[in-house]
Amino acid sequence: MRWLTGIVLGFVIGCVVSSSGQQAGPPPSQAEQYLRQVGMREALERQHDQNAAASKEQISQIVDQLAEQAQLPPDVRTGLQSMYSEMVEAVQNSYTVDEALAVYARAWDRNYPGDDFQIAKAQLATPEGRRLMRAANEAVSDTAHFIQQRRQAALQRETTKLVEHVRELGKKYPAR
């Protein structure tokens, strides 16, 4: 009887261990699988990484400007930099690339349900379909780049105003 208990226990443990590496949730849709094949995940990952780098650079510039204007000691500057870096990282990690890809795929799934996706996929494999996808991807990329540039310029402009305001406050309320 002990051997039977051992076998059952071994089977249960084996099932738990083998299933622990599996992702929860439904398998990827046809659209998501296709988007992975054509490199969309990598494109989203590059965008995610570029956003993170740009955010870190912006935060670094803001902290440096504030620290310089307020004449903060190096340890306070380092503390601010660390605090802002953690904030940027938390914002950047608020989603995963795989989650973004699943959202992207849902639009395809809604517009091309069931067998319609196979028809669309065949059309996208033609020269005109590839051209259409290239144009759509360039449009999305160009738009994201435009938005990022405008946000960065606005952030820089507003940071300059903020630093000036901090400087004026420093004059009005000098350290005691």
- pLDDT tens sequence across 5-27: 333 333 333 433 333 344 557 88
pLDDT at 4: 31
Q: How far is CA 5 from CA 8, 17, 165, in A?
A: 5, 18, 74
pTM flag (> 0.95): no
pLDDT at 88: 79
Mean pLDDT of 65-78: 78
Count the domains in the chain. Answer: 1
Residue 108 lies in a domain: yes
Q: What is the 3-state secondary structure (H, E, C) of 128-159?
A: HHHHHHHHHHHHHHHHHHHHHHHHHHHHHHHH
pLDDT at 116: 92
Residue 75 lies in a domain: yes
Mean pLDDT of 61-86: 79
Residue 57 lies in a domain: yes
Residue 158 lies in a domain: yes
Residue 5 lies in a domain: no
Q: Is the pLDDT of residue 127 over 90?
A: yes
Could you list the residue range(s) of the whole structural domain that residue 152 is in? Answer: 28-172
Q: Let me know how many helices (H) and strands (E) the chain has, helices first.
A: 7, 0
